Every structure is written in structure tokens, then in C-alpha cells.
């Protein structure tokens, strides 16, 4: 099938043919001895240190070309920033033969091409730290033009490409032309590394658990289903790794954690993507009070690591991560935001309240789902500063230990920040008889039409029968946490490659 090419793409292919005819390999062997990066050069170069920059090798993508005839000013972008090359014809072609300069530099180069250069660093008359180029090598010919953006003298973009369809689908181009995008993902990596360091210092053990599971357990969610050909049985992409981590606690590990890639076959919006990353950890001989304290410590540490302060700007708000965080029960939170005390209501009364407030309600929704609907629609969005919503009704939490002093409740919290749930934690249920009864209640909900009710995992019940010590566990949404701490409005902005509808191709 033929490929439709734009005029610019045809011109670039013609240039490639001219280069090949002149014996220039536009895609040479990959080894190129880069010695310095743009930011490092600019940060360290002075008149006093210039001897250390007398022989420099750099490489990067061409972002601008200024043709002055026998002199070219070319700005290249590497992984750390932008630096200017001063390319003089007689310098890179000292002999009488100027073919290389004319063929490559003057006629062959385009924005987006990747080149390498050697030379020495100096400061131009305009005060710009630049590389006086002595050799220049074409490393990759770009056949597709980059979107045009405007940059100031320092290379900062002030007319960025903002079309989300382009940015999310062609993230590779987005990263090239929008420098702030790369900064977001560098912060994401720093966030994950900080969490890992924090947990490792506490003595936690990082582990791996299955992504393909015979039983999609550990959460109330609709799974993706596939087929295992070798075993000839259906398998599911995991919706959570909770039950496997608890098996490890049964096996004798005191503290395990995993950055888990999870999959839920549900809706997509600014805060939901079908594929997402969750940190879960489980610690033996701890409860949800201890978990609140260590979660506060972690979030304060993350704010300091990424911003140097506990006050973080998110949109038009300033959120304080200074410990301690507010704590309020879910019933009190609903009452605080609606004026209605639902703590003693049964299922039909809750359904009537949802009806009065014009909230979703149907026969498949049990008491837990109705309370969740009330809280989610009327209370959750109002908790901007970090707040622990605690002490949930047992119907909402089939994997959670019953409250030690409050009948009908469980020892659970969710951490709300900027109106969204960032973490969910329990004193874990370790009574195998109680756990079996809760699973059977979930099965009844499934039979009523609730397609997010939990499956029964009989092997997990067997593990509990061997005995799981008192344990506390937590799940933290890494993507939402990254959104918060990088001030991004959409989950797609913190995922390199968010899910999108397949593109209609021209081929």
C-alpha cells in the first residue's frame, strides 16, 4: 500500500538521496563518543575552566539553523538542554574541497536531524556559550518535519504545541518540542526512586507478583480477560496485587512492597486510565493507625524531595504536606458536607437519600456502593488539604478487619488530597472464616448484577487458614500522586503512552 508524503517529506527524501550519492551515510554505526552535555558545559564553563573544554564532543537534535553563508549557527538539543554550535566552512573543511560543507551543512541539514560535533567551547560576542565546531557528523537524517514552535533566546518554548491528540499519540515528538514534558517524567522517576529509598531504609522488601492471574482478586473492579492457550483456561490481567502480597506475609516476610501495573476495564477520564501504576505494601504486626503515621512521613518526604518545601502549588491552590494530616470518619464526612447522618441507615433508606440527592442508585447497588456514591459525589471533592477519611462501613471493605471498638465498621482509611483519593489502607482481615463470609457476600452482589464485585479466591482463603499475622496494608496511586506533585491536570500528562483509540492510518 502506498505511503502519502507531504511536500516537506518528499524534499527530505530527495536530500537523503543526494547525501547517499555523495557517499554520506545518513545512518552510520551507533557508536559516537559523546563526552559532554549541554547543561554541564553551560554550568561549568568559565575563562578559568576553559582548558577543560578544549576538546569536547557533543551530539543532539537540530532545533534551529541560522545560515550566515560561510558560517552556520546551529542549536542542538541533547538530553539535558540546548547548546549552540558555531560551524565555519573553512574550519570543518580546511582543504580546498568544500563538498562536505556544501552537501551536508548547507543543503543536507534540516530541523530534527541528529548530528555530532567536536571542538572547543567559547563564548560568542553576544555572550552565548557555544561550541566552536572542528568536525561535524550527520548521525541521523530526519524524514518527518517537527511541529514548529517558538523559542526565546534561552531556548525556552513560549508557543508550545498543546493539541492533546498529537501530544499523547506522538509522545516522542511531544518530548522533543515541549521541554516541560520531559521534566514531568524526570520528576515521576525521582518520585518513585524516593519512595523506593524510603521503604528500603525502613527494611521493606521489594517483590514481583503475577500480572496474569486465574482469579482477578484484591479489588472491586471489572477485569480484562484473555485466554491462556497452553493451559486452555481464561486468565485475567490483574486488577490488584493485594492477595499475592498477603500470601507472602503468610509465608513469613514482615514487610513487602511492589510497584504494580494494574488493569481495570472501566471508564477513562482525567484521573482514570485502564492501565495504571499502584504502590502496595503490607507490614506484619502493624495497624491502620501506624499506617497513617508512616504515610504522612512518606508524603512529606516526597514534597520536600520534588519541591524543597512542604507547600506545593497545585493549580490555583497551595497544598501543605506538613504532618500531621486531618482525620475524619466517612460518616462524619458525609454529614459535614450534606447535613445528613447516614450512620444508622439501612440499604433502602440510603437508596432513598441517593434518590433525593439525584445520585445514581439501582437494585444492583448494596449498602456499601450507596455510601460510596454519597461520599464520592457530595464529600470527596471538598477535601483539598491532605485528609484521612477513616472508619468505613464493613459493606464497603470486604478485605478489611472489623473495627476493634465500633460495631459495623472496619479499620480503613483513604487519603484525600485536592479532592481525590491518593491512598487506600486497612488493618487487614486475617480471620479466614470471616473472610470467606465476606467473599460469599460479594458473590451475592455479583449475582445481583454488580460486575465489579470480587471473585472468590479459594487459594487465598487456604493461605489465610495457615495463619496471617496481624497486618496493615496500603495502596497508593502513583499516577495520581505524580499528577499532584507535578501540577498536571490529567493522568494522560503523567503517562508516557496513555491508551487511545487506534489511529486511522493513511497506508
- Helix 288-307 / helix 478-486 crossing angle, nearest 10 deg: 40
User: Is the previous residue joined to 325 through a cis bond, with omega within 30 degrees of 0?
Assistant: no
Please give the full DSSP string across 48-88, using - where no structure is assigned: TTGGGGSSEEEEEEEEEEEE-SSEEEEEEEETTEEEEEEEE
- For the chain, the first-to-last Cα distance in angstroms comes to 6
**Residues with Cβ within 8 Å of residue 319, at least 6 apart in sequence:** 311, 312, 313, 384, 385, 386, 417, 418, 484
Gyration radius from the chain CA atoms: 29
C-beta neighbour count of 20 within 10 angstroms: 12
> How far is it, in rounded angstroms, from Cα 311 to Cα 495?
25
- Where does residue 89 rank: exposed (0-12), middle (13-18), buried (19+ CB within 10 A)? middle
> How far is it, in rounded angstroms, from Cα 106 to Cα 292?
63
3-state SS string for 103-125: HHHHCCCCCCCEEEEEEEEEECC
> How far is it, in rounded angstroms, from Cα 93 to Cα 46?
28
Cell numbers linked to 60: 543532539
Cell numbers linked to 5: 508524503
Cell numbers linked to 351: 437508596
CB 137 within 8 A of CB 115: yes
**Residues with Cβ within 8 Å of residue 369, at least 6 apart in sequence:** 396, 450
Write out the binding residues for Mg(2+).
414, 421
> How far is it, in rounded angstroms, from Cα 206 to Cα 258?
6
Distances (CA, A) of 440 to 402, 403, 407, 457, 484: 17, 20, 20, 11, 37
Write out the binding residues.
414, 421
Amino acid at each position: 500500500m502506498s505511503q502519502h508524503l507531504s511536500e516537506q517529506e518528499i524534499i527530505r527524501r530527495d536530500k537523503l538521496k543526494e547525501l547517499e550519492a555523495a557517499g554520506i551515510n545518513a545512518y552510520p554505526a551507533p557508536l559516537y563518543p559523546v563526552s559532554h552535555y549541554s547543561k554541564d558545559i553551560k554550568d561549568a564553563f568559565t575563562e578559568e575552566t576553559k582548558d577543560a573544554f578544549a576538546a569536547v564532543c557533543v551530539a543532539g537534535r537540530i532545533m534551529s539553523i541560522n545560515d550566515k553563508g560561510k558560517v552556520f549557527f546551529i542549536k542542538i538539543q541533547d538530553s539535558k538542554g540546548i547548546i549552540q554550535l558555531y560551524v565555519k566552512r573553512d574550519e570543518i573543511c580546511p582543504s580546498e574541497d568544500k563538498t562536505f560543507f556544501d552537501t551536508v551543512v548547507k543543503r543536507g541539514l534540516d530541523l530534527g536531524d541528529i548530528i555530532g560535533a567536536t571542538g572547543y567551547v567559547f563564548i560568542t560576542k553576544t555572550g552565548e556559550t557555544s561550541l566552536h565546531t572542528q568536525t561535524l557528523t550527520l548521525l541521523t537524517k530526519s524524514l518527518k518535519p517537527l511541529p514548529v514552535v517558538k523559542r526565546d533566546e534561552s531556548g525556552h518554548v513560549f508557543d508550545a504545541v498543546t493539541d492533546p491528540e498529537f501530544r499523547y499519540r506522538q509522545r516522542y515528538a511531544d518530548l522533543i518540542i515541549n521541554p516541560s514534558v520531559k521534566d514531568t517524567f524526570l520528576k515521576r522517576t525521582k518520585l518513585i526512586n524516593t519512595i523506593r529509598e524510603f521503604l528500603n531504609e525502613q527494611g521493606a522488601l521489594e517483590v514481583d507478583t503475577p500480572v496474569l492471574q486465574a482469579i482477578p482478586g484484591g479489588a472491586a473492579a471489572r477485569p480484562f480477560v484473555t485466554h491462556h492457550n497452553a493451559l486452555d483456561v481464561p486468565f485475567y490481567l490483574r486488577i490488584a496485587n493485594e492477595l499475592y502480597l498477603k500470601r507472602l506475609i503468610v509465608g513469613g516476610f514482615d514487610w513487602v512492597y511492589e510497584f504494580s501495573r494494574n488493569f481495570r476495564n472501566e471508564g477513562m477520564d482525567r484521573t482514570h486510565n485502564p492501565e495504571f501504576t499502584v504502590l502496595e505494601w503490607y507490614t506484619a504486626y502493624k495497624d491502620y493507625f501506624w499506617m497513617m503515621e508512616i504515610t504522612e512521613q512518606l508524603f512529606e518526604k516526597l514534597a520536600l524531595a520534588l519541591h524543597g518545601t512542604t507547600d506545593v502549588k497545585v493549580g490555583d491552590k497551595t497544598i501543605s504536606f506538613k504532618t500531621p494530616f486531618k482525620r475524619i470518619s466517612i460518616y462524619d464526612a458525609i454529614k459535614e458536607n450534606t447535613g445528613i447522618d447516614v450512620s444508622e441507615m439501612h440499604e433502602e433508606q440510603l437508596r432513598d437519600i441517593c434518590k433525593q440527592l439525584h445520585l445514581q442508585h439501582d437494585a444492583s447497588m448494596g449498602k456499601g456502593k450507596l455510601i460510596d456514591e454519597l461520599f464520592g459525589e457530595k464529600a470527596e471533592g471538598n477535601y483539598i488539604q491532605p485528609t484521612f477519611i477513616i472508619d468505613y462501613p464493613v459493606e464497603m471493605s470486604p478485605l478489611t478487619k472489623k473495627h476493634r471498638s465500633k460495631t459495623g465498621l472496619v479499620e480503613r482509611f483513604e487519603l484525600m488530597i485536592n479532592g481525590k483519593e491518593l491512598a487506600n489502607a486497612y488493618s487487614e482481615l486475617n480471620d479466614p472464616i470471616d473472610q470467606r463470609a465476606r467473599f460469599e457476600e460479594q458473590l451475592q452482589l455479583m449475582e445481583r448484577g454488580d460486575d465489579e464485585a470480587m471473585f472468590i479466591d479459594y487459594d487465598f482463603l487456604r493461605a489465610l487458614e495457615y495463619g496471617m499475622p496481624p497486618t496493615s496494608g496500603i495502596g497508593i496511586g502513583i499516577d495520581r500522586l505524580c499528577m499532584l506533585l507535578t501540577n498536571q491536570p490529567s493522568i494522560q500528562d503523567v503517562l508516557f503512552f496513555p491508551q487511545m483509540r487506534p489511529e486511522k492510518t493513511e497506508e
